[in-house]
Structure formats: C-alpha cells, structure tokens
Structure 1
Amino acid sequence: MRDIHRTGARRSAPGTPLSGRVAVVTGAARGVGEGLARRLSDAGMLVALLGREQETLCRAAALLPNRSVCIEADVTDRQALESAARQVEEELGPASVAVANAGIAAGGPFTHTPADLWQRVIDVNLTGSANTARAFLPQLARTRGYFLQIASTAAFGSAPMMSAYCASKAGAESFAQALRGEVAPDGVTVGIAYLHWTGTDMVAGIDDHPVLKALRRNQPRFARRVHSPAQVADWLTQGIAHRAHHIYAPPWLRWCQPLRPLFPTLVAHTARRELRTHARGELAADVAVLGAGGRADWNSYRSTTRPGG
C-alpha cells in the first residue's frame, strides 16, 4: 500500500524559518492537505505527502517546486506509518514538521449509520492522528520539531447527524492537548488548528444535510463564509512557521474560545428546531460519506475487509 515518488529539484526559500526542513502531511491528496503541502514546499520545505489515493497523491507531489515524496498509506495502519516514517527519513531526512490532517466524515442519524462506517470515521480522524504522532515523534524529538493536529469547530459544539465526526474531532483536540505536555521536555511543540467552513469536497454537499445547512444559515453573515483550501493553507503555514499552539482558520475564531460553553446549547436548539421539520425516514436516507476523499477511503477499506477482498 505504499509507493514512493521522488520529484523536483530542491529550491530553497532563503530567510524563512522552514527552509530546508522536512514536513510530513497526511491526507495530502486533495483539499487542505494538498494546499498545505504546496505552501510548505513554496516556503522551502521538503515535503512528504501521505494519503490513500496513490495517483492523485503523486500528481499533487509532482507539482511541488521542491523535492518531495508521495507515500500511499492508511493512517489506521501502524505498520504502514512506521514504514512511511523510515522512508521519509531515508529519502528526505528526519521530519521537523508532521501534520495530522487525514480525515473523513459521514452524515446521517446515528441509529441508521452502519457501525463499521461510524467506527471508520473514529479510526481515521482520531486513532489515525495518534498513529501519525507515534510514527513521527522520534524524528520530531531529534529535530525539536512541531506536530500539528488538524481539528475543527466541530469540537466547539457537536452537531446532530454528524456524531462520529464531531466525536473524533473533539477527541483529536483532547489528544493533542494531552500530548503537548508530554513532549514539551523533548523540545517538541504541539499545535491544534481549528478549521471552520472550508471549500473542500467534504462540504460540497452541505445543503443536502438539513442540520448542517441550518447551522450555517443561523450563523452571522461573516461566519457563513466558505474559505478556499489555499487560504486555509496560508493560515496553517503561518502558524507552523511560528510554532503556534493554536491556529485559527479563519483568524476570528480565536475570539470564540471564551464562548465555547455556550455553543452546545445553541447548536442543540437550532438542530432540534430543524429536525422537527423532517420525517425520520427522510433523515435516514441522508446517511452518506461526505466528499470524494472520504468515499475513496471508505471504498478502499471495504474492499480489504470484505470476505475475499
């Protein structure tokens, strides 16, 4: 499940704190992961792109200005990640930055969501982040590096119809907070990035999910804006360069932190009102994996777990 692709001559970006260092980005085949890999490469980094979609992943790597490798690996597979970590060090050098970005989402009522799909979201988003940290922390300790956990405003207030995704992102935030104190004596900094509405294929069908549509509709106008993956990647790159403990995309999210105790009640009120207008059968029909990347992961997973797969 791994493929190494070497591309590009090294081109440094003099004067930047990231120049000449090695970065690892999971979930780098598309969306925010792809955009971040590009911005880190523009900043002079040597980038390892990890993901499930080999062809798409290596196509993204081939466009980077600096030397890169693409490695097809499932973040829920610890042995694959350990092998990937060895390959990164052999091909590029020890990682100074590791970004746990891989994630999938599934929408729909909990009672109608297949148990293995619900578990897969948890495995990729939460356990996959821990596996990524486990594989690359030895290198980060040697380089006194930076680990970035990609979280979400889903950790601020859990939305009905998105139970696995919200639980996984809240868990990933807690994991990163706990890890921060453990690895600080080794010189490793842990950051958490909070992403809001981002224009990836994961949110392309948001209007098909009544609760998410209602939550967005009831937010202030400025909070409804969908930001491009490129813009989010810019904010993330700035935070990585400063080894920030918290990165907010968009930046105004930092002012929401003191208000977090209010969000669960507000979300529940909006969701309850919206759910009353939909029949149970209608909601059950909305169970789906969101986005092309999530569907690629889910289809690949099912092909390997089915009898004879």
Structure 2
Amino acid sequence: MSAHRSLEGRVAVVTGAARGVGELLARKLSARGARIALVGLEPEALKEVCERLPTDSDHWHADVTDHEAMARVAQEVGQRFGKVDVVVANAGVAAGGPFADSDPEAWRRVVEVNLIGSAVTGRAFLPALTESRGYFLQIASLAAITPAPMMSAYCASKSGVEAFAHCLRAEVAHKGVKVGVGYLSWTDTDMVRGADRDDVMRELRQRLPWPANRTYPLGPAVDRIVAGIERRSAHVYAQRWLRGTQGVRGWLPGIIAIGGLRDMKRFEPRLAGVSKGLVGAGGAADERERTPGTRRG
C-alpha cells in the first residue's frame, strides 16, 4: 500500500464537479487543505460549489471531450495555482434501455464523455502531473467489473476507462506518476436517482443479487475515495465489498447472462417505455450544452 500523503497545499483537479461524487469530493479534499480546480459544464453550479470551499479554489467551464478546451483549462490551472498534484477524472453520464432500441446519439455520448473525456483529461494534465510526480485517479464503476443488461453504453465506457487507467499506470510509473482506478457501486447521486425514475430500470436493479442491489450513501463512498487519493492507491473501492468482486469477475458475465435471460423475458412487454436519453441532472446539463440556444451560465 502506498504511503499516506497530506493534501495540505496540494492542487487537485476534479472534473464533473458541479454535483454528486465530484462536488462532494471537491468539498472533502478542500477540507483537508487541498486547493481545488473544478471543471464541468454547469458554470453557475461550479461557482456556487467553489465559493463554499474553505481553501483557495477556482472553476472552469469546459466539455471534457473537447481537446482544445481541456488543454486551455490545464494551462490556466497551471498558471493559476503553479502546479497540479492530483487529477480526478470523474465526469460521466449514463443512459439505459435495450441496445437495439437505444438512441445512437445518447449511446455515443455516454462513451464519449466517460471514456474519451477521461483520456482527453489525462492527455491535458499529464505534463503537469509528470512535473509534480502526481496522482491520476480514474473513476470507474462496478460496471467495469461486471456487465449488466440495459446498460451497454455505460458498461462499455467504464470497462474502457478501467483498461485505459491500467495502461497509463504502466506507461508513467517510471516518471513517478501514480495512477488509480476508483470503483463505485450504486451510490446516491442524481445519476442513479435519474435512472431509478424509470420503473423497469429500477426493478431490474432491485433484482440484482445482494449487495449489488442496494443504493449506498454518498458520504462514506467519497470518504474512501479521499483516503485512496491520500494513499495514491492503484485501486480505490468506494464500497468495501467491491474489492471481493475482483476475484470472481471472470464468472460474472455468465451469471449475469443467466439472470438476464430470465429478466429480459419478464420485462420485454414494458421495454418500449424505457427512456432513451441521458439520465439525471448531469445528463440534462450535457444535453443543454450540446443544444444550440439552451446553454446556461
């Protein structure tokens, strides 16, 4: 296990910082003395979060999939704070429903934000992390460990970011840069609550085996992520039981396939009513950003 490092005076970049995991993570890192650079699509919300932080912090409005925008953010963060010690690639969106009937644009956007956006973030900030011998934490998910029906885009993107982080770790370790992967199960955020508004998606999740069928409180999950950042851990588990899934992940696709055969037959008459767009307030913000004339802030 990596040695504990104080966050006092360090500079941490958090993407997707306007709400949910990113917002609370920014607050908890700041409470430990870190200076925070918040990045996201909701400038008004980012400003509000920033103003409540107890340490010197700032915010940037940017789409993590935009190479030029993120390169600009990285440059400005460096100029503003003089260094970057920690980057948390947290920005993400989700969409549910059967793949065959999914909205191609929403499906693509999930992969773009979650996977491409993480890679763009890493590319933009890697020079600064190399200089500081810093830490890059990629937020993944239980969806990276086990597949799930009705979540093809999200599972594909989170499996992708897990692989990306593992590859990056091997490439930059000799430069003193540490890379971690953060795993969360269903956690009480706008994204999960948004998905639960759909009856089919909520019932499918409730039929998962324990403990994967629970929604977990946000606070303890983020506390474990902060502890992982302090240790510069290779793997960070927001719920302790997730560590145990690593040893059985090879069996999980087959188990899920058996359950999926039963559940998809059960729910097939209701599948046409499943929402096809991005879920939650974060998804709505992403759609506003990409719709001419509707951007706020």
In the superposition, the TM-score normalised over structure 1's length comes to 0.89
Change (3 A) 1:46 1:67: same
Cα deviation per residue 1:178-206 (whole Å; 9 max; x = unaligned)?
Answer: 00000111100000001001000111142
How much does 1:71 deviate?
A: 0.4
Superposed, 1:1-309 pairs within 5 Å as 17-204=6-193, 205-206=195-196, 208=198, 210=200, 213-220=203-210, 222-279=211-268, 282-286=270-274, 287-303=276-292
Q: What is the DSSP-based 3-state SS (H/G/I as helix, E as strand, rest coil) of the residue aligned with 1:161?
A: coil
Unaligned residue ranges in structure 2 (runs of 5+): none
Structure 1 position 87, deviation (Å): 1.1
Structure 1 spans left out of the alignment, 5+ residues: 1-14
Does the Cα contact within 8 Å between 2:5 and 2:231 map onto a contact in 1? no
Contact 2:205/2:213 (8 A) holds in 1: no
User: Per the alignment, in what secondary structure is the counterpart of residue 124 of structure 2?
Assistant: helix
Give the TM-score of the pair, scaled to structure 2.
0.93
Q: CA deviation at 1:288?
A: 2.9
Report the Cα distance in structure 2 between the residues aligned to 1:131 and 1:190, rounded to whole angstroms: 15
Q: Distance in 2 between matches of 1:254 and 1:263?
A: 14
Matched residues, percent identical?
Answer: 48
| TM-superposed deviation, 1:210 | 2.7
CA RMSD across the alignment? 1.8
State the number of aligned residues: 289
CA distance in 1, matches of 2:199, 2:7: 40
- Higher mean C-alpha deviation, range 112-121 or range 172-181: 112-121
State which drifts further: 242-251 or 222-231: 222-231
